[in-house]
Amino acid sequence: MKASLMRISALALLGLLPLASVPERAAAQQGPDAPPPVVVVATATTQRMSETVTVPGSVVSRNDAQIAAEVAGVVDTVAEIGTLIEENGVVAKIDSELLQLEADRATAAVKRLEARVKFLDSEVRRFEELAGKGSGTRQRLDQARSERDMAQQDLAEARVALQKAQYDVAHAEVKAPFPGRLVTRLVQPGEYIERGDPVARVVDVTALEVTAQIPVASVAQLKEGDTVSIEGPGRSVTAKVRALVPVGDQVSRAAEMRATLTESSWLVGTAVKVATPTAEPHDVVAVPRDAVLLRPDGQAVFRIGEGDIAELVIVKTGLATGDQMEVTGGIKPGDRVVVRGGETLQPGQKVDIQARNGPDAAMPARSG
Contacts of 174 (CB under 8 A, 6+ apart): 67, 68, 69, 70, 90, 91, 92, 93, 94, 199, 200
For residue range 299-325, list pLDDT tens digits in order: 999 999 999 999 999 999 988 776 888
For residue range 10-62, list pLDDT tens digits in order: 444 344 334 344 444 444 455 556 788 899 999 999 988 877 888 999 999 99
Of the two residues 13 and 284, the one the predictor is more confident about is 284
Does position 245 have pLDDT exceeding 60, yes or no? yes
Q: Within a domain: residue 236?
A: yes
Q: Within a domain: residue 13?
A: no
Contacts of 227 (CB under 8 A, 6+ apart): 238, 239, 240, 241
CA distance 263 to 111: 58
On whether both 233 and 288 belong to a single domain, the answer is no
On whether both 84 and 184 belong to a single domain, the answer is yes
On whether both 28 and 137 belong to a single domain, the answer is no
On whether both 134 and 225 belong to a single domain, the answer is no
The CATH number linked to 344 is 2.40.420.20
Does position 212 have pLDDT exceeding 60, yes or no? yes
On whether both 34 and 56 belong to a single domain, the answer is no
For 85, the domain range is 69-94+172-203
CA distance 139 to 146: 11
CA distance 157 to 216: 55
pTM above 0.75, yes or no: no
The total domain count for the chain is: 4
Contact at 8 Å (CB) between 351 and 304? yes
On whether both 43 and 56 belong to a single domain, the answer is no
The CATH number linked to 214 is 2.40.30.170
Q: Within a domain: residue 8?
A: no
Q: Within a domain: residue 212?
A: yes
Contacts of 364 (CB under 8 A, 6+ apart): 38, 354
Contacts of 357 (CB under 8 A, 6+ apart): 40, 42
CA distance 286 to 300: 13
pLDDT score recorded for residue 136: 64
The type of residue at 190 is G
CB atoms within 10 A of CB 1: 5
Tell me which of 117, 151, 170 is where a domain ends.
Answer: 170
Q: Within a domain: residue 14?
A: no
pLDDT score recorded for residue 30: 54
Q: Within a domain: residue 5?
A: no
**Of 110, 275, 80, residue with least CA distance to 188:** 80
On whether both 178 and 273 belong to a single domain, the answer is no
